[in-house]
Each structure stands twice: as C-alpha cells, then as structure tokens.
C-alpha cells in the first residue's frame, strides 16, 4: 500500500474506466462523422480544425501564429475531453479525474521562473517573456505514461533548447533540473506525503538540448489547461510521462545528476532516465504494451516511444537495463 500502490498498472484500471468512454466516443464519432465531413467540405476548413476544441472550448485563450512542426506524428489525436479529464497531477490529487476540477482556480499569472545554478546570469524571468523567446509550434507527440496508458496530443511550445541557449549555462553544466511550484494553499495534494515536494525532474544536458524536448505552454491550439501543467511544463516524448514536469517555477543547471521525486519515492521502480523501453519491465508489471485512451485493445509499446531515430544516439554504449 501507500505510495507504491498509487500508480496503477494498466490491468488494474477497471475496465469500466475505459470501455464505456470508448464506446461512447466511437458511437459519437460514427454519428458525427458524416455531419463533420459535410461541414468541413462546406467551410473549407480541414477536418482537424473542426474536430479540434478551439471552437468548443470557450476559455478564449487561443494561441496565435502557431506553426506546424515536421516533428509531429500523423497518428490520430486523442480527444481533448479525454486528455483534460484523465490526468496525473499529484499536487492536486492522486485520482485522475480530480485535477480537472481541483486545478480550476489555480493562478497561473503572474508567474516567474527562476533560472539558476551553473549559468552566466542567474535571473528570474516572467513566463510571458519566456513565451516570446521563439515562435509557437504545434507538436503532435505520443505521450506514454509509466502506468501503461498513452495519448496523442497536439502540444504547443518550442524546443527547450531555445530557452537554454538564451540563458547561457556554463560549460560545467551537465544536467538541468526542473521544479514545480510549492504552494500548499493552492495545491491540496501537497498536504500529503505521497511524493517529496516540490515535484522535481531532470534531464541530462544533451537530452534537454535534443530538438524533440519541448517547452510547452499550450495544447489543441490553446493555452494549457491548468490540469495539464499551465502555465509552463516540459514534454519529453521518448520518456515516461512522469519526466514531463508541470507548472515549472525553477530551472537549475548543475554538474550533478538531479534527484527526481519519483526516484526518491521508489528508487527500484523509477530511475533517472525513464526512457520508454518495452524490453525493460517495471518491477510490478510489463512495459511491452500500452492502451491508447479510447481504444479497446492494447498495442505494442515502441522503443523510445517510437522516437528511436531521433534519440537512440544519446544512449549509445549505455546499459539501458541498469540505467532504467
């Protein structure tokens, strides 16, 4: 019990949590399909624009000038409703349907991000200054949780390297550490010791500089919903989802490997690298397969979550069973 049991393997997710939703979605898709296709033809908008939530989500926080990225997958995007109501965000709750409610009033402005450690100039940047550092791109990535479920999300952001280049880490910096906001008043989950707070994650510098690593502030053409990590998070698509820290307030450059929160809570289960690897089982379950939210059956999990071409050279010569 306790922390170890909080992460559910795919088999433990009650089928009632998955099946009715997919049935519902499939039926809706079928019924809506003809109407949507007709509308797309009539308006000249692409199918994706009509199906995407920009028309239905009325937060009014559309991001302008988003460029499409060649790094996107062409796989079917997971419905917005599923992605924003099935979240791991332990600062709010360990239940997946609760962050959507509990994070509703979370204040994401004003928001400062501290840049420190081994950099030329330690500084505090306003999140809106960071957002202007490079043009926003849509990156449709596969996102694979260590628990065995996966989603395909059109994130909005730009390569983390754009920020790193601008803040000038020194030549001694070998790693970069990300910390989430610590705020017990706003984040009720932090009153429980399920993890060490604040949530800390880290990357090796060459991983962080890989063009796939995304500094993310939006999804589906809009600003990130709070439950998905607003106002700023990272997305590291070749690693298990827990590496992709939400609500970042500090980016620290260091010469030592950062100690990530999940590694502290269960060192035998969650390592520093956490690369998606179907050949290395979690001590309590296999990682060979995954269930895409909305699907009935499982599909094989791909090495580095399908991003091997872009990232496998980062790990050449490393024993991936040891460096899990």
Least distance from ligand MTE to the Cβ atom of residue 129, Å: 22
Least distance from ligand MTE to the Cβ atom of residue 39, Å: 29
Q: Which is nearer to ligand MTE, 106 or 253 (CB)?
A: 106
Q: Which is nearer to ligand MTE, 118 or 180 (CB)?
A: 180
First to last CA, the chain: 23
- DSSP type of residue 12: G
Q: Which residue is nearest to ligand MTE (CB)?
A: 241
Least distance from ligand MTE to the Cβ atom of residue 177, Å: 13
Q: Which is nearer to ligand MTE, 118 or 212 (CB)?
A: 212
Q: Which is nearer to ligand MTE, 105 or 121 (CB)?
A: 105
Least distance from ligand MTE to the Cβ atom of residue 79, Å: 13
Q: Which is nearer to ligand MTE, 242 or 253 (CB)?
A: 242
Listed residue (192, 162, 8, 172) closest to 92, CA to CA? 192
Q: Which residues contact 245 (CB under 8 A, 6 or more apart)?
A: 178, 179, 180, 199, 200, 201, 229, 233, 234
The full DSSP string for 188-209 is: GGGGSTTSPSSPEEEEEHHHHH
SS3 228: helix
Least distance from ligand MTE to the Cβ atom of residue 143, Å: 6
Listed residue (202, 205, 172) closest to 273, CA to CA? 202
Using CB under 6 A, list all residues that contact ligand MTE: 87-91, 145, 180, 199, 228-229, 241-242, 244-247
Phi/psi for 209 (5° steps) reads: -85, -10
């Amino acid at each position: 019990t306790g922390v170890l049991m909080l992460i559910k393997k795919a088999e433990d997710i009650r089928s009632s949590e998955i099946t009715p939703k997919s049935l519902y979605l499939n039926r809706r898709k079928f019924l809506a399909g003809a109407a949507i296709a007709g509308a797309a033809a009539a308006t000249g908008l692409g199918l994706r624009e009509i199906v995407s939530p920009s028309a239905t989500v009325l937060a009014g926080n559309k991001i302008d000038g988003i460029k499409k990225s060649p790094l996107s997958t062409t796989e079917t995007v997971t419905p917005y409703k599923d992605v924003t109501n099935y979240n791991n965000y332990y600062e709010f709750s360990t239940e997946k349907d609760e962050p959507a409610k509990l994070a509703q009033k979370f204040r994401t402005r004003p928001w400062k991000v501290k840049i420190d450690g081994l950099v030329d100039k330690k500084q505090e940047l306003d999140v809106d200054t960071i957002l202007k550092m490079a043009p926003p791109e849509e990156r449709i990535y596969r996102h694979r949780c260590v628990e065995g479920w996966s989603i395909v999300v059109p994130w909005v952001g730009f390569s983390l390297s754009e920020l790193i280049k601008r803040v000038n880490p020194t030549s001694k910096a070998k790693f970069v550490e990300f910390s989430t906001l610590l705020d017990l008043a706003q984040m009720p989950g932090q009153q429980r010791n399920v993890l060490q707070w604040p949530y800390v994650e880290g990357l090796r510098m060459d991983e962080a500089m890989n063009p796939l690593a995304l500094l993310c502030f939006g999804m589906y053409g809009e600003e990130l919903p709070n439950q998905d990590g607003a106002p700023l998070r990272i997305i590291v698509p070749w690693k298990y989802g827990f590496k992709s820290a939400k609500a970042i307030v500090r980016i620290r450059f260091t010469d030592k490997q950062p100690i990530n929160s999940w590694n502290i809570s269960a060192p035998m289960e969650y390592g520093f690298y956490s690369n998606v690897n179907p050949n290395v089982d979690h001590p309590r379950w296999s990682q060979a397969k995954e269930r895409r939210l909305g699907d009935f059956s499982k599909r094989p999990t791909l090495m580095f979550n399908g991003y091997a071409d872009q990232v496998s050279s980062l790990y050449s010569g490393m024993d991936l069973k040891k460096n899990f």
